[in-house]
Structure 1
Amino acid sequence: MLVGGVLLATAMGCGDTGRRTSPGGAPGNNNPAVSASPRPPSNTRPPGIGSRIWQKVPTGTRQLVVVYGDDRDSADSLAVLYEKRGTTWARAGSWPAHNGRMGWTTDHELDDERSPVGAFSLTDAGGTLTDPGSKLRYWYDDNAYNSMLEEGEEHEHDFDYVIAVNYNRLRGVAPWDWTRPDGVERGGGIWLHLDHGDGTSACVTLPETGMKTLLRTLDPARHPVVVMGDRERLRA
């Protein structure tokens, strides 16, 4: 597409393999949840989370969505919501989930069909349906999301509700904003969204009950973060 005489790369949703072109969003490193003062090692952390990835969770985080991938080449996973209560993390919900159809990667690239392993903040949400009571800022636009849907009846509700994962995007903008601070080749457009029964281009998908629960529970004041990856690397 030509804009101001400059040829722009086609940018897509859900791991950059949607069906729309548009400019859009991401922060300047591939792990925007990392803070200047990372959390020190702790014995009070959710199960299956090792010290290496725990160091990437900011100290102020009081809500975590942990996506446990079955293995590094699997599209099957489990999403669990944890909330900090005192000094412990309490499980507040869990749902079957799917991730990139090729599995997981620590070096995500455009169209590799793998979800990035890491810890990423969650600040912006939206969907083709009106706000169900989201505590995160909610960007409703049925045309913007519908233009990114893959063909097929099984995908028609994929973007009813989405939560943008802050991987290679700007915070505080609509999920469909396609600015890529780390470059288009590093991928982006990675969301939590409704499940369609199998693997994705790079997003993580949950059933509708899970998405509604996350939207109504994740609170910006509690600095929610998603920690995601295959179980082996999450334990490292």
Structure 2
Amino acid sequence: MAASIDCPRRPRHRAAARGGHRAAVPVRADGRVPLTAVLLLVLAALAGCGAGTGTRTPDAPVPTAQAGGPPGIADPAQGRAAAGTEARPPARLPGLGPRTLAWIPQNARQVLVVTGRDRDANRSEAVLYEHTGSGWEAGPAWPARNALRGWTDDHWAGDLRSPIGVYTLTDAGGLLPDPGTAMPYDRSDGFSVSGTGFEGEPLEGSFDYVVAIDYNRQPGTTPLDLTRPRGADRGGGIWLHVDHQGPTQGCVSLEKHHMRELLRALDPTRHPVVVMGDIDSLSE
């Protein structure tokens, strides 16, 4: 097991997704469908394939990304109306090309840039940029790891690649108590993990601190929520979490003390996002 709750690969069932699966419906001799059968069909349609434990929240509307845009950001200028004329950034951020910059919401005042060494590499670097009002200020460069096989702009569950794109950061949690973050924080034993990773390294403690990356998830819920608005086959459970000294299934990992620093720095009122991908993709 590698440190990610990215769902295991399942058949994509693309034809079934277009036409849907039709369940057998019992019909009485008089041709009428029993009311109980109708209710069961309605409940099944509402449940979909993203139900998890606990109370299920309704799926978020699936964003329609602009041409060439990443899943998860529907409008590259999102937040402009809410923030009024002051929603000017981002202007320039080191290493990011015009296409990537256009994906970043204009109300974002905190941008964590995770840059992979190349498309197939599982080593990367993370830098938190904060807008001071006059420009972007860079924090220290933190070593990071990503998925075993590198990066992809077409992520599927189990492909062992991290999704390229720009994603909001709205929710945090972990096995350990809140280290002092302003983000909603879910302290839960559900973040316990055991076993070994791809290189035989122990995974225990990997989820001591977690920030959910809003790829194919319902923002505003615990990172443990299993809702997958784009379908389970597109993966999920993509987190920032504690490095276990090996590549991940799809997440981005940082050293434990850097995860604590990140959690203490992130501020929901500054609309933090993560920009992640290999160096060549982010420079476009």
Q: Same fold by TM-score, threshold 0.5 exceeded?
A: yes
Deviations along 1:71-104, whole A, 9 cap, x unmatched? 0000000011100112421112321000011000
Q: How far 1:215 sits from its partner (Å)?
A: 0.5
Match of residue 123 from structure 1: 170
The one-letter code matched in structure 1 to 2:195 is E
Match of residue 145 from structure 1: 191
The one-letter code matched in structure 2 to 1:32 is G
Residue 52 of structure 2 corresponds to residue 23 of structure 1:
yes
Match of residue 143 from structure 2: 96
Q: Return the index of the structure with the highest Cα Rg.
A: 2
Residue 222 of structure 2 corresponds to residue 174 of structure 1:
yes
Match of residue 5 from structure 2: 14
Number of residues paired by the alignment? 219
CA 1:31–1:43: 2 relative to 1, 3 Å: closer
Deviations along 1:51-73, whole A, 9 cap, x unmatched? 11111111100001000000000
* Distance in 2 of aligned mates of 1:77 and 1:15: 19
Residue 117 of structure 2 corresponds to residue 77 of structure 1:
no
* Distance in 2 of aligned mates of 1:45 and 1:120: 18
Q: How far 1:13 sits from its partner (Å)?
A: 4.6
How high is the sequence identity, in percent, across the aligned residues? 44
* Distance in 1 of aligned mates of 2:88 and 2:180: 35
Match of residue 205 from structure 2: 157
* Distance in 2 of aligned mates of 1:43 and 1:168: 24
Deviations along 1:139-169, whole A, 9 cap, x unmatched? 0102x111xx241362101000000000000
Worse-superposed segment, 86-95 or 157-166:
86-95
Deviations along 1:168-201, whole A, 9 cap, x unmatched? 0001101010111000111010000000112100
Match of residue 102 from structure 2: 55
Residue 247 of structure 2 corresponds to residue 199 of structure 1:
yes
Task: Note if contact 1:41-1:54 (Cα within 8 Å) is conserved in structure 2.
Answer: no
* Distance in 2 of aligned mates of 1:50 and 1:151: 39
Unaligned runs of 5+ in 1: 1-11
The one-letter code matched in structure 2 to 1:118 is G
The one-letter code matched in structure 2 to 1:154 is P
CA 1:33–1:209: 2 relative to 1, 3 Å: farther
CA 1:186–1:158: 2 relative to 1, 3 Å: same
Match of residue 219 from structure 1: 267
CA 1:36–1:204: 2 relative to 1, 3 Å: closer
Structure with the larger strand share:
1
Larger RCO (CA under 8 A, 6+ residues apart): 1
* Distance in 2 of aligned mates of 1:73 and 1:203: 15
The one-letter code matched in structure 1 to 2:6 is G
Q: How far 1:44 sits from its partner (Å)?
A: 3.2
Q: How far 1:36 sits from its partner (Å)?
A: 6.7
